């Protein structure tokens, strides 16, 4: 089934340093391809940004953090309940932490966004790169494939997902998967980039879960 699906500006794509994942959740190595195009028979669905979210988790030897990122826009094209194409844009300014409070929460969010003077490039540098995007290149055996762009770097990713229909509403829910943040030049605290960090490092792997809701236009 042909498909194009998420413009992730996150996206994401996003997030607190790298993350630990189960062995069977490791990032798939794929090649960047052309985004899928919808046929004339496909119907456009508009992403409900209020009902959709990207959840992230990042880890280091002393603990982990998790939170969310919101989408700013997106479209999905369906033909008889099957996704043919799609994309979504991620609002990197919406990066939020959910396990801290007060100054600790504010400080971590500012560091991730790059709004702290002198630390703009540590993670996502939202002033220079306010959005991320995901463009779908296909779906095969319930595995979504596409191109994720963060900080003007594009890499192919794939993840298992379930698509369900409820009237004029489409819902896509991914399994938790991981990406290697260093592929998008998110290098702060990476032991693979800075080998002399000892135990003061942040995992390269980030855990991501996508929950998408789209309504018939």
Q: Map tokens 């996206």 to a residue.
A: 11
Please tell me the predicted confidence (pLDDT) of residue 92. Answer: 98
- Round to whole Å and give the CA distance between 156 and 179: 10
Can you read off the two tokens belonging to residue 204? 């390269």
Please tell me the predicted confidence (pLDDT) of residue 156. Answer: 97
Q: Is residue 179 part of a domain?
A: yes
Whether the per-residue pLDDT at 108 is higher than 70: the answer is yes
Please tell me the predicted confidence (pLDDT) of residue 160. Answer: 98
Please tell me the predicted confidence (pLDDT) of residue 31. Answer: 80
> Per residue in 76-100, pLDDT tens?
999 998 999 999 999 999 999 999 9
- The partner residues of 169 in beta bridges, in order of sequence, read 166, 215
Which range of residues forms the domain containing residue 137? 23-216
The distance from CA 146 to its chain's CA centroid, rounded to whole angstroms, is 11
Can you read off the two tokens belonging to residue 48? 């409900």
Per-residue pLDDT band at 217 (split at 50, 70, 90):
confident
Q: Is residue 138 part of a domain?
A: yes
Can you read off the two tokens belonging to residue 39? 């046929």
- The partner residues of 54 in beta bridges, in order of sequence, read 69, 210
Structure letter (DSSP) for residue 99: S
Q: What is the CATH number of the domain that holds 42?
A: 2.40.128.110
- The partner residues of 203 in beta bridges, in order of sequence, read 18
Please tell me the predicted confidence (pLDDT) of residue 12. Answer: 35
- The partner residues of 170 in beta bridges, in order of sequence, read 165, 214
Whether the per-residue pLDDT at 6 is higher than 50: the answer is no
Please tell me the predicted confidence (pLDDT) of residue 214. Answer: 98
Please tell me the predicted confidence (pLDDT) of residue 30. Answer: 62
Can you read off the two tokens belonging to residue 150? 């963060």
Q: Is residue 55 part of a domain?
A: yes
Cα maximum dimension of the chain: 56
Can you read off the two tokens belonging to residue 25? 């959740």
- The partner residues of 96 in beta bridges, in order of sequence, read 68
User: Average pLDDT over the chain, rounded to whole?
Assistant: 89
Q: Is residue 15 part of a domain?
A: no
> Per residue in 8-42, pLDDT tens?
333 333 333 333 333 333 444 568 999 999 999 99
203 backbone dihedrals φ, ψ, rounded to 5°: -60, 145
DSSP, residue by residue, 155-187: EEEEEEEEEEEETTEEEEEEPPEEEEGGGGT--
Q: Is residue 150 part of a domain?
A: yes
Can you read off the two tokens belonging to residue 180? 């290697």
Q: Averaged over 53-76, what is the pLDDT?
A: 97
Instruction: Convert 39-52 to b/e letters by CB count within 10 Å (16 or more is b).
Output: eeebbebebbbeeb
Q: Is residue 12 part of a domain?
A: no
The tally of domains found in the chain comes to: 1
Q: Is residue 211 part of a domain?
A: yes
C-beta of residue 36 within 8 angstroms of C-beta of residue 137: yes
Q: Is residue 151 part of a domain?
A: yes
């Amino acid at each position: 089934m042909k498909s194009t699906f998420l413009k992730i500006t996150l996206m994401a794509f996003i997030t607190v340093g790298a993350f630990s994942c189960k062995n069977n959740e490791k990032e798939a190595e794929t090649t960047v391809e052309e985004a899928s195009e919808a046929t004339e028979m496909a119907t456009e669905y508009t992403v409900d940004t209020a009902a959709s979210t990207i959840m992230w988790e990042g880890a280091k030897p002393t603990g982990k953090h998790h939170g969310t990122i919101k989408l700013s826009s997106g479209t999905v094209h369906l033909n008889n309940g099957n996704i043919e194409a799609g994309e979504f844009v991620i609002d990197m300014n919406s990066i939020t932490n959910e396990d801290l409070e007060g100054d600790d929460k504010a400080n971590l969010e500012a560091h991730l966004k790059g709004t702290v003077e002198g630390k703009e490039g540590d993670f996502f540098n939202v002033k220079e790169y306010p959005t991320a995007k995901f463009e779908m290149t296909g779906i095969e055996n319930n595995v979504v494939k596409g191109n994720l762009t963060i900080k003007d770097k594009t890499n192919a990713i794939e993840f298992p997902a379930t698509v369900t229909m409820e009237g004029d509403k489409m819902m896509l829910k991914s399994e938790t998967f991981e990406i290697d943040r260093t592929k998008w030049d998110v290098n702060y605290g990476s032991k693979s980039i800075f080998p002399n960090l000892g135990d003061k490092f942040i995992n390269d792997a980030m855990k991501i879960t996508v929950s998408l809701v789209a309504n018939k236009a």
